[in-house]
Structure 1
Amino acid sequence: MEEASVSTSATTSRAVQFESFGGPEALRVREVPVPHAGSGQIRVRVTAAGLNPMDWVMTSDAETATRFGLSLPCGFGTDYAGVVDEVGDGVSEFAIGDRVFGGAMSRAVADHVVVDEAGAIAVGGSAHRTPDGVDDRTAAALTIAGSTAAAALAVVDLGPSDTVLIGGAGGGVGVFAVQLARLAGARVIGTGSATSADALRALGAEPVTYGDGLVDRVRALAPAGVTAAMDLHGTDTAYAARELGVPDKRITTIAAQIDGITPANGALAAPGAIEEIAGLVAAGRLRVPIAASYPVEQIRAAVELQAGRHVHGKVVIDL
């Protein structure tokens, strides 16, 4: 076994924490003891952390936090990217200096995060090698949204003969889902606000505004019909898809459950899915729009922007 290796002598570092659950106003940047990698673990010096809706949903109140196994004081954020700066005994896949990205549930917005060498996001955290040509801000936006989009694509099983309706196509998961659907050969109709139309076209989707009259607008765009649907926001798109004749087995949701419809969960994405997505980014075949980046000291403003759900792309924290 390898001996544990350490590259820093710092004793404290920054971490965004909740002392009480709530909204952005409850977030604080704190000085905390530097964590250390145990057996089978690596420590990452985080350079960027991507925000997702699940981050603030999980920590919005004590009851919800308890369902996710969170207790006070609690960290914040799940997606991260950075550089390995400490390895524990028995680690063989990573070394100091390796660039990595991954997920560590509700503790990623911090100078350092410790994750298992072979772990899961919710249990021990996960780590993947960052491909050459992918910067850390982009890598920090991949894990949750990319895994969730891959899981949604797997449920509806798209091909070149499909026309898919994607609800919330301009959001964090949507930007991945649209492009993955196009890479699968499908025609994509994406819902969004009127102001998101150009952004959706740039991703390869045909934009349609959400809200009352959605079914009629989709019929006008696709008179031959829609064959699959992904609702990445709530339930409106899923119900519209049913009205358009899409069978339940080819509809999925990520933020709600509907009887008869299979929800998509990023934790159930196929093995290797996130590495495949990172490879597509590195090859220039999939782009990750970064809507905004903030220094960690402005975490509240960043969360307020992301929680507004009108951002076209990802919000990233720089550390």
Structure 2
Amino acid sequence: MTQRSVTQHRARQVVAPRYGGPEVLETIEVDVPPAGPGEVTVEVRAVGVNPTDYKGFSGRMSSDPAALPIRPGYEVAGVVTALGADTELASGGGAVGDEVLAFRTPGGGYSSAITLAAADVFAKPATLGFPEAANLLLAGSTAADMLRVVPPTAGATVLVHGASGAVGVLLLQLLRTRGVHAVGTASPSRSDEVRRFGGDPVTYGDGLEDRARALAPQGFDAAYDCVGTDEAVDVSLALVPKERFVTIAAQARAHRDGFAAVGGRDPESAAFRDSVRAELIALAGSGDLVVPVAGTYPLDRAAEALTRLADGHPGGKIALIP
């Protein structure tokens, strides 16, 4: 393994110097640490934009001034510019010039370059664009985690709430690879997106339970909630036993009503999400897992991208392009 020069260089990085909304973000110049043993430096070509990015600086989880500045960004895709001594990518091998993607950076992914643990860096399939690659693993591993907690039965029918959202469309595709039929809730304007990824659309709102039953007269095997509304929870509990229902967005209801929720800091969930990354990349590389991208923004317009995401219906994933 050849190590490239470890000369330190500079990068543009978006940070939150104080707590607040997207308007607090600023672009600064930072030093990029050289890649040491077990590390890789990546010239970033695309950054995944996720709700967890703005939660960190919103002040809702913490407002500790000692934690400032907050450096958002946990998913990137780009090109290797340096490998530490005796270091391989998580997918094996690795050389300067390789196209890669990474998830679970230590933060700071909103940057034109980043040094991160090689254990989190994988070879990018040539068939996958940088914006798609930068948005695959967080949403994809979340969807896979839901199926770990409530495994679907092949040939059965399940209900997916928020089926046209970032996690929902990947969940639909993972269900399809397992031979599972899905009914997915969405607005009328997003029905075609549900069909595109293998589900039968059903409009949410008053009467959802009856409409869902009409699409699955044999009943539902399981329900998966990606939106967290009371409607999603109530309808799911009316259609399936609580042991066959999992949410990623209604943690308070899950605790109160005794059904499963994934996410947060559960170590079992974190370990699983790490373990499934290679499988998700392989599925995306073969075309069995498509990441729809609604738009891209220059790195300096991160606030605009996050505002669009926070509005709730971006129509697909969003990427920043340094």
Same fold (TM over 0.5): yes
Helix, strand or coil at the partner of 1:75: coil
Alignment of 1:237-252 (within 5 A): 237-244=232-239, 246-252=240-246
Post-superposition offset of 1:313: 1.6
- The answer as to 2:76 corresponding to 1:80 is yes
Change (3 A) 1:221 1:70: farther
**C-alpha distance in 2 between matches for 1:209 and 1:57:** 29
Post-superposition offset of 1:47: 0.6
Change (3 A) 1:285 1:224: same
**C-alpha distance in 1 between matches for 2:315 and 2:272:** 24
**C-alpha distance in 2 between matches for 1:214 and 1:255:** 19
**C-alpha distance in 2 between matches for 1:268 and 1:171:** 24
Structure 1 counterpart of 2:152, from 139, 155, 158? 158
Structure 2 counterpart of 1:133, from 114, 120, 127? 127
- The answer as to 2:270 corresponding to 1:267 is yes
- The answer as to 2:8 corresponding to 1:18 is no
Alignment of 1:178-189 (within 5 A): 178-189=172-183
Change (3 A) 1:281 1:92: closer
Residues 73-132 of structure 1, C-alpha deviations (whole Å, 9 max, x = no match)? 1211211101111122331343322221112143111011221122xxxxxxx2112122
**C-alpha distance in 1 between matches for 2:307 and 2:96:** 35
Residues 134-166 of structure 1, C-alpha deviations (whole Å, 9 max, x = no match)? 121111011100110111112221232321111
Which residue is equivalent to 1:97?
Answer: 97
**C-alpha distance in 1 between matches for 2:20 and 2:281:** 33
Alignment of 1:1-319 (within 5 A): 4-6=3-5, 11-61=9-59, 64-65=61-62, 71-93=67-89, 94-103=94-103, 104-118=105-119, 126-236=120-230, 237-244=232-239, 246-257=240-251, 258-259=254-255, 260-265=258-263, 267-269=270-272, 272-319=275-322
Query: AA paired with 1:27?
Result: L
**C-alpha distance in 1 between matches for 2:5 and 2:132:** 27
Change (3 A) 1:231 1:105: farther
**C-alpha distance in 2 between matches for 1:194 and 1:226:** 22
Query: AA paired with 2:95?
Result: A
Residues 229, 238 of structure 1: 8 Å contact kept: no
**C-alpha distance in 2 between matches for 1:315 and 1:70:** 30
Residues 42, 115 of structure 1: 8 Å contact kept: yes
Post-superposition offset of 1:10: 6.6
Residues 142, 274 of structure 1: 8 Å contact kept: no
* Higher mean C-alpha deviation, range 44-53 or range 217-226: 217-226
**C-alpha distance in 2 between matches for 1:42 and 1:79:** 14
- Could you tell me the percent identity over the aligned residues? 37
Helix, strand or coil at the partner of 1:134: coil
Post-superposition offset of 1:268: 4.0
Post-superposition offset of 1:272: 4.1
Displacement over 6 Å in runs of 4+: none
When the two chains are superposed, the root-mean-square deviation of aligned CA atoms in Å is 2.2
Helix, strand or coil at the partner of 1:166: strand
Alignment: residue pair count: 307
Q: Could you tell me the TM-score, scaled by structure 2's length?
A: 0.88
5+ residue gaps, structure 1, are 119-125
Change (3 A) 1:112 1:146: same
5+ residue gaps, structure 2, are 264-268
**C-alpha distance in 2 between matches for 1:269 and 1:306:** 26
Query: AA paired with 2:5?
Result: V
Post-superposition offset of 1:44: 1.0
